[in-house]
Chain A
Amino acid sequence: MEDRVIEINFGPQHPSTHGVLRIKVKLDGEIIVDAQPVIGYLHRNAEKLAEMGSYPKGMIYIDRLDYVAALNMELGYVLAVENLMDVQVPERAQWIRMLMVELNREASHLIWLGTHGLDMGMLTPFFYCFRERERILRIFDEITGSRLLYNYFAIGGVYSDITPKAIEMIKAWTDDFGSKLEEIQSILGKSYIYVSRTKGVGVLTAEDILSYGVTGPMQRASGIKRDVRKNSPYLYYDRINFDVPSRTEGDVYARFLVRIEEMRQSIRIVKQVLDKLPQGDFYNKKYSKPMLVRLKTTGESYVPTESPKGEFGIHLIGDGSSIPYRVRIRSPSFANLSSIPTMLKGYKIADLTAAVSSIDPVFGEVDR
């Protein structure tokens, strides 16, 4: 038995490993005997770097964690800092944050959908997804001035107000995107080949989910209906209506359906936020920029948020000086990735790419 096993390194340079994931796979023919993820190829010391500057300066490192959903990362940091210092945030800023975060969730899920199709051997949905993502990035460009790493959320609000032109763009996008999503979903979900390759593949049971600390869409696809936005609402998620999609199968196809449904719910949230967006300040005038750098505090804070990949939060410890004592990042992809050995054992090589891409790992966040 032992000499029949071939060991193959999937990655760190491989077309379908989503960045620099390396999986040591032991194969018996086409069947996976063992799979161990090896991480650390994109380690940039983000936690320690964030502990070297004042509180607002940590933002630029946090931005670069999950670089396809940078605003969700910023939100986690901003909420933690505000919680630590009891900063009051104007209502308009909170609504703008919700809007931006949901838009970024869409952008992140679109990247996932495109690359997932690519891993299943379909090139075409990738381009459709990037076409749609491009519209969201244009909106971000209009509001924040940048397309990928925004540094937009500030302690006490946001850096710039949302312009009327941007609101027009978002409205046009919400009217349009539902049908486009339907189209992209039909390419994958109505394809017999795709469905037969993903059903019953990479199954994680609810016990596995809990023991590995897997969160986000993967958790909800396995029957645990837990969404931080619903269970412990931050921002104003308790003031709007949205559903938390969940499935019980726990396979790749269930994750696909859950993520697609989440994108629909995000459109709903964006529409409601646009209706409820109040007038007013977009930042707390008490906290001007020079003053932010000198903020001093003691204590601990952790605010869980629902990032596109799962529960994201930052554990901040202040020791009374103007720089944080500890910035501990709870990154969802890191925990989700640890389920790879359980998820892959006994399946075929082709299922490896399907299952790994259904985790949707982003390595800036895994390696930090």
Chain B
Amino acid sequence: MNLFFFLMSILYGIVKFLHIDFVPFTFHGIPVGLWIAYLIVGVVEVVLVFALSMLAVIIIIYVFRKYMADVQNRIGPNRVGIWGTLQLIADVFKLIQKQDIIPTSADRTAYRVAPYIVFTPVILGFILIPFGNVSILNLMVVNFNYTILFLIAFMTIAPVGEIIGGLASHNKFSLYGALRSAAQDMGFEVPMLISLIGVIILAGSYSANDIVTAQRFIPFIIPEILGFIVFFLAMIGRQSIPPFDLPESGSELVSGFSTEYSGMRYGIFYMGNFGFMALAAFVVAVVYLGGWEGPVFPGTIWLIVKGAVFIFIFLLTWISLGRVRIDQLLQMGWKYLLPLSIINLLISAGLALYLGGVF
């Protein structure tokens, strides 16, 4: 059962209990009552997903700050709330209060829209993550046959926002950040998609749910180790976190595409980045580590544990590695990751041909 129908049945139960049964109401044959019910359930779902993804972002940023501080002999946030847990909330309040500065020569519309183009797809991506099965309830907001394609599509939109923001700022550093962002995405997107095709071949489906259930015996990381490496590196690259933070590259391009951004617009970029980190970790866990499949514990806990492992790896690379140069990055993308992903595709095609029944 889908989460949608689950919420629908809860709504129906409440409606019946309160004796305000508007659902069967029709107007000239149009089922208006049912539409209203759909709308209510839809809003509830959106709020749920938004709250969930924001919670993930808050937890990741807090853990990141504390962990980074611990590595670097610092204390980290410890003033706001207990152990500094409310620091991010305080930061957001501060950023909202700030003056909204838009450069006079900037393209105002594009400049304003860009942060949301980065931020929204991340939230949308959470809709498509299968969070597990609780008895017959499928914890997935929407479940259809092409979820993984849509997931990748949402992840592809985010860098477009970076490019638009960089170009709209009318600043040379921003321009360079945007161009680097474009080059980096081209370099990583193709190998990422090709390595994902291997998984799709093995699972025989585009649905994230089917990909998870296909890994109930062997997670895809074992037959698809090459693909996993490519996909994981591409995921680090797509988030633009160190060592691949070239669009931002703090020490070279001031702040890259976000140089002119300040206040909450910058905050939205920032939260979008961390949201993308959570999304990327969950996607890797779903595609290569068997998502919510696991013994003893409920599936959702397995997924969160697997996602947390990847988030920690992301944070550790962030803390410990320097930045690569643009030519080295493109070399890596086109010269190493692309051939590797094609080899992986051939391997998985062979596996599907001869051992197709296993998965």
Identify the A interface with B (CB < 8 A): 6, 8, 14-16, 30, 117-124, 126-128, 131, 187-188, 191, 193-194, 196-197, 348-353
Asked whether, in the complex, the Cβ of B72 is within 8 Å of the Cβ of A8, the reply is no
A187:B325 contact, CB within 8 angstroms: no
Which residues of A lie under 8 Å from residue B104 when comparing CB positions?
Answer: none
Does the CB pair A120–B322 fall under 8 Å?
yes
Residue from B242, B253, B325 with most neighbouring chain A CB atoms (10 Å): B325
Which chain B positions have C-beta within 8 A of A193?
Answer: 243, 321-324
Complex CA gap A355/B251 in Å reads 13
Choose one: A118, A126, A348; the contact of B327 (CB below 8 Å).
Answer: A348
Give the docked Cα–Cα distance between A350 and B72 (Å). 25
Look across to chain A and name the residue whose beta carbon is closest to the beta carbon of B321.
A193
Determine if B99 is an interface residue (Cβ-Cβ < 8 Å).
no
Name the residue in B71, B73, B322 with the highest tally of chain A Cβ atoms < 10 Å from its Cβ.
B322
Note all chain B residues with C-beta closer than 8 A to A194: 322
Q: CA separation between A30 and B324, bound complex, in Å?
A: 14
* The 4 residue pairs across chains A and B that have the minimum distance between CB atoms: A121-B323, A16-B251, A127-B72, A120-B322
The residues of B that contact A349 with a CB separation of less than 8 Å are: 176, 252-253
Tell me whether B319 is interfacial, beta carbon within 8 Å. yes
Question: Can you list 13 A-B contacts with CB-CB less than 8 angstroms, sorted by A residue number?
Answer: A16-B250, A30-B176, A30-B326, A120-B323, A121-B242, A121-B243, A122-B321, A124-B319, A127-B74, A188-B322, A191-B321, A197-B325, A353-B251
How far in angstroms is the closest Cβ of chain B from A211?
28
Chain B min CB distance to A90 (Å): 40
Chain B, interface residues (CB within 8 Å), range: 20 to 34
Contact indicator B250/A121 (Cβ below 8 Å): yes
Nearest chain B residue, comparing its CB with the CB of A351: B325
Q: Nearest-CB distance from A21 to chain B (Å)? A: 13
B40 within 8 A of A: no
Evaluate contact between A350 and B172: CB separation under 8 angstroms: no
B328 in contact (CB, < 8 A) = yes
Option from B71, B319, B322 in Cβ contact (under 8 Å) with A197: B322
Distance in angstroms between the alpha carbons of A120 and B173 in the assembled complex: 18
Q: Does B320 make an interface contact (CB < 8 A)?
A: yes
The answer to whether B173 touches A187 (Cβ under 8 A) is no
> What's the minimum C-beta distance from A202 to chain B, rounded to whole angstroms?
13
Which residue of the partner chain A has the closest CB to B173? A8
Q: Does A16 contact B252, Cβ atoms closer than 8 Å? A: yes
> Which chain B residue shows the least CB distance to A347?
B325
Q: Which of A123, A348, A352 has the most CB of B within 10 A?
A: A123
Is the CB–CB distance between B319 and A350 below 8 Å? no
> A127 near B322 (CB under 8 angstroms)?
no
Structural contact, B254 and A350, CB atoms closer than 8 A? no
